[in-house]
Amino acid sequence: MVEQVEKRFWERFLKWIKSLAGITVIATVVIALLATFDRGGYVLVNTIVTGGMTALVAMGLTLTLGVLNIPMFAHGEYFMVGSLAAYYVFTPISEYMQTHPDSILAVLGPVITVLAAMLVGALAGVVSEVLVFKQLRQRSRENWVMNSFLLTVGLSVVLINAHQLFFGADFKGITRYFSGMPISIMDVFISRDRALAFLLAVLVVGAFWFFMTYTRTGRAIRAVSQDETGALIVGIGLNGIMMLTMALSCALAAIAGASLLFMYPAYPAMGLEPLYMAWFVVILAGLGNVLGSVMGAFMVALLKVLTVEYIGSGWDFVVPSALIIAILIFRPSGIFGSEVRGVLDK
Amino acid sequence: MDPKNPVNKLLDLLCFTPAGLLALAVLLILPFVPPFNQEYLIRWLISAALIASLSIGFDFTAGLINIVNFGYCAIMGLGGYTSAILAERIGLSPWLGMLAGGVTAAILGLVIGMITLRLRGIFAACLAWFFGLALMGLATKAVWLTRGPLGMRVDRLFETQSNVPYYYLILAIMVAMFIACKWVTRTRMGMAFKAIGQNMEAARTSGINPVFYRVSNFVLSCALAGVLGGFYAHFYGILTPDMMHTSKTVEVLAVAYIGGRGSLWGGAAIAFPFILAMELIRSSLSNLPGLHLVIYGTLLIVVMIYYPGGFAAFFDTYVRKPKNKFVNYFLNGAYGGAK
């Protein structure tokens, strides 16, 4: 019995290896290792940290696309909201820490910050769902994908400039969350912030996966993403699910923004970069494919890190987009394929 | 009012209603009317006219075949850079340079169209956006050619200091673009565009090849953007990669959609009061940076929710159906429809 299961597992594994998804994942790992041997460990560290956070943003994007059918253009702005909230929560904490260096806040402060940013992000998501998307949904569902896309464009403009209007256009950043010596693994020094950012990403992705797979609410969300009418028939409250989805996906982006505050200070237009990275991922991995978007995030992050490393900074606009366009010519539905093709057809 | 009257035939040929003609006449004399005869106001008018023309070209794809070309300003930038580089390196006249900009933009449009328009709606928009990002990155990094973020100096088109000739030139370009787009929509091809925009499956079933029509629509709209890019380069006299930024496309997109999708004239009509008001807010409330863009975005959201048809639909439903015959003629022309 066990042998049979093992054999079937191996067969499936070999089949997966031979598929496009398997080939790309293995190629990514190999390229990442080669680059690490060539240029040193920080390539790998950068890839992993950026990839983890891109995965959070991309998962949120996938979620809004799959469940609400909204091609979110304002997702980077929730990233911005998260980092802004984190800045305003963490600055007083770090000032307090300077006078009381031994307080418990040294450990709890960043946790409180990320949690607060998550709450603010979720709140922003709920507010935009209630004020914007729900209004349109009640009025007309005709040509929904395009109309909601334009709504998100307007939302993005409003959020960016409201930031500039109320908080100013300067860079609001912190130097670090955790003080102390960087961790050293095999001669590579990783600052505590980076290591913890990656751990946080793993934690959140895991929790999210668990939530989507094993809880009733998560299954309800997936049901809505597969078939809205069907979900209604079996008694799932659409309004609640949509609001929850929006809150979740915005909170994911806000967590990413908050935990990367030490790398990217908050400023009005900061959302564009995570946004297009997330869109790269979503299009590369296939729309609505949550697990695929996690793997795709690491690929895109690797692509970006390698471009900056070997070709020079600034080219990271050019090379990844060119490669992704090239991939899409041959494989329009993305590398991992997608369960919700319906979104594309609208 | 007689449909056989030659004036009416001419108007119909030019796709203008008497109301549209009146609006155009107002625009023509505007640089001589007191508050508008100052140079900075004329500059605002020119930028409004530029946005108006861009929104016509943008609406030609977005409104008719329902594909948002999210890299529109990047394509305009390509036209501008082509024209500027040709003028600098081989001394090509700016007039020919503008045309050359149109041609390169059209070629790029063909390439993008061939790749992206096999995909559907939002995918095509995203890919056009990626192309735009890539183009902007190229313009930033190819310093030997474009001088990158430092900005590339370009000779201006006319040798006067005054901005009035530019104003008339951009108005002429705008009207020509409008008429060209309108003519295309009247042909069989235009019918096909509309059919594809409304229901692609039905259009495909009736024997329309969607890829061909979408690509040709895309190419035309990109060519127009390229010509406008040439104008941009030779009017402002300096080109930076910033002009290709996504936020510029968003500006055009907002004007086009607030004006009314699929109408072609709506965006052009709304651009003038809209851009002037925005510039006014920006310059008079300079201690509140970003306020005008907040209004911009809010307006776009409100229009999309409450009035997806935009200004043109509002105009068609409430203003365009007067009881009086003369007013009706004034608003709709002898044949009905058109600008």
Residue of A nearest to B300 (CA): A154
Residue A122 confidence (pLDDT): 92
- Chain B residue with CA closest to A330: the answer is B115
**Residue B337, pLDDT above cutoff 70:** no
Say if A139 is an interface residue toward chain B (CB within 8 Å). Answer: yes
Option in A132, A318, A332 nearest B138 (CB): A318
Q: For position A119, what pLDDT does the model report?
A: 92
Q: Is residue A267 part of a domain?
A: yes
- Taking the CA atoms of chain A, what radius of gyration do you get in angstroms? 21
pLDDT band at A93 (very low <50, low <70, confident <90, very high): confident
Q: Is residue A2 part of a domain?
A: no
Query: How does residue B335 score in pLDDT terms, banded at 50, 70 and 90?
Result: low
With CB atoms and an 8 Å threshold, state whether B297 touches A150: no
B10-14 mean pLDDT: 69
Give mean pLDDT, residues B259-263.
80
CATH code for B6-332? 1.10.3470
Highest mean pLDDT among A252-256, A329-333, B187-191, B232-236: A252-256
Q: In one letter, which amino acid is A84?
A: L
pTM, two decimals, is 0.83
Q: Which of A135, A166, A317, A345 to mutate to test the interface with B (most CBs of B within 10 A)?
A: A317
**Averaged pLDDT, B310-318:** 77
The number of C-alpha atoms within 13 Å of A132 and in the hemisphere containing its C-beta is 31
pLDDT band for position B330 (cuts 50, 70, 90):
low
Q: Which residue of B115, B289, B301 is in closest CB contact with A132?
A: B301
- Which of A57-71, B87-101, B147-161 bottoms out in mean pLDDT, i.e. has the lowest? B147-161
How confident is the model over A248-273, as a mean pLDDT?
86
Q: In which domain, by residue range, is A210 found? A: 21-343
Going by pLDDT thresholds of 50, 70 and 90, the confidence category of residue A287 is low
In this prediction, residue A120 carries a pLDDT of 92
Share of chain B above pLDDT 70, in %: 88
Of A107 and A154, the structure prediction assigns the larger pLDDT to A154
Answer whether residue A172 is part of any domain: yes
- CA distance to partner chain A, nearest, from residue B30 (Å): 31
Q: Is residue A28 part of a domain?
A: yes
Q: How confident is the model at residue A339 (pLDDT cuts 50, 70, 90)?
A: very low
A8 falls within a domain: no
Position A346 scores a pLDDT of 35
Out of A53-62, A308-317, A324-333, B32-41, the most confident range is A53-62
When comparing pLDDT for B222 and A306, which is higher?
A: B222
The better pLDDT of the pair A42, B112 is held by B112
| Residues of chain B with C-beta less than 8 angstroms from the C-beta of A344 | 119-123
CATH code of A240's domain: 1.10.3470
Q: Report residue B338's pLDDT band, with 50, 70 and 90 as the boundaries.
A: very low
Number of structural domains (chain A) is 1
Which of B115, B257, B294 should be substituted to probe chain A, the one whose Cβ sees the most A Cβ atoms within 10 Å?
A: B294
Q: Which chain A residues are Cβ-neighbours of B254 within 8 angstroms?
A: 153-154, 157
Q: Using CB atoms, pick whichever of B134, B291, B301 lies closest to residue A154.
A: B301
Q: Is the pLDDT of residue B290 over 80?
A: no
Residue A12 counted as domain residue = no
- Asked if residue A336 has pLDDT above 70, the reply is no
What pLDDT shows up at residue A334?
66
Kindly identify which residue of chain A lies nearest to residue B123, measuring between CA atoms: A344
Over residues B271-280, the mean pLDDT reads 84
| pLDDT tens-digit map of B47-81 | 888 888 888 888 888 888 878 888 888 888 888 88
The minimal CB distance from A318 to the residues B119, B134, B254 is found for B134
pLDDT at A247: 92
Q: Does A311 fall in a domain?
A: yes
Q: Which of B137, B304, B308 sits opposite A154 (nearest CB)?
A: B304
| pLDDT tens, position by position, A157-209 | 888 888 888 887 788 877 777 766 666 666 667 777 788 888 888 888 888 88
Mean pLDDT of A90-114: 78
User: Cβ of A153 and B253 within 8 Å?
Assistant: yes
Asked if the structure places residue A11 within a domain, the reply is: no
pLDDT digits (tens, 9 = 90+) for B189-225: 888 888 887 877 788 888 888 788 888 888 888 988 8
